[in-house]
Structure 1
């Protein structure tokens, strides 16, 4: 088992999730149950799956949950692009968050290779 609080990737994904909640607070109210909900779920899924994997009994299981977290990161990245493409939130605001997603994706890939 790994102590999740010591994992840089988990801490970065917590930061990503906090930034997502701030960003989507700018969405129009008619998106409350549309992209808003889906984006929150994708964001929360990333640190949650890292934590679940860290609490498992083997590196094989940990790698599986890291893979799920990585998929959620790509899902979130797509949703952020949609926010910009649909002119719901400016690209200037979404781009830094997308860059953090990409950084986490790279970290995830490297971490899985080490497991």
Structure 2
């Protein structure tokens, strides 16, 4: 790996954060700065924590810590999507929930890989 951009989890997190941003703008106007804003922040936090963790990859425990933060942000984002799915009829939301479920599994698997195989 030469860059965090070589990580599949980063690329998916980035792609999904862009999707979430656009989908969140379909929410009712009164939600754009409440739940919409929280959704956008949590989705972008996933990729940002992957980047920060990669920047600390020389320190295995720091790398794991930030990957764990990334996974936690993913769970927050997914929870927001589930709530929005119940409140509003936005057709893209169920697909995003599935995408984040799959990304969560990939992040979890990568955390296990780093725990077991990473050399500092």
CA-based RMSD of the aligned residues comes to: 1.3
Cα offset for 1:71?
A: 0.5
Count of aligned residue pairs for this structure pair = 113
* Deviating 4+ runs (over 3 angstroms): none
8 Å CA contact 2:24, 2:36 repeated in 1: yes
Conserved? CA contact 2:9–2:107, under 8 Å: yes
Alignment partner of 1:78 is 2:79: yes
Partner deviation per Cα, 1:39-85 (whole Å, 9 max, x = no partner): 01101100000000000031211110000000111111110011111
- Structure 1 position 11, deviation (Å): 0.1
Q: Distance in 2 between matches of 1:77 and 1:37?
A: 14
Structure 2 regions of 5+ residues with no counterpart? Answer: 115-120
Structure 1 residue 89 displacement after superposition: 3.3
Structure 1's unaligned 5+ residue stretches are none
Structure 1 residue 3 displacement after superposition? 1.4
Contact 1:26 1:89 (8 Å CA) reproduced: no
TM-score, normalised relative to structure 2: 0.89
Whether contact under 8 Å (1:21, 1:40) holds in the other structure is: yes
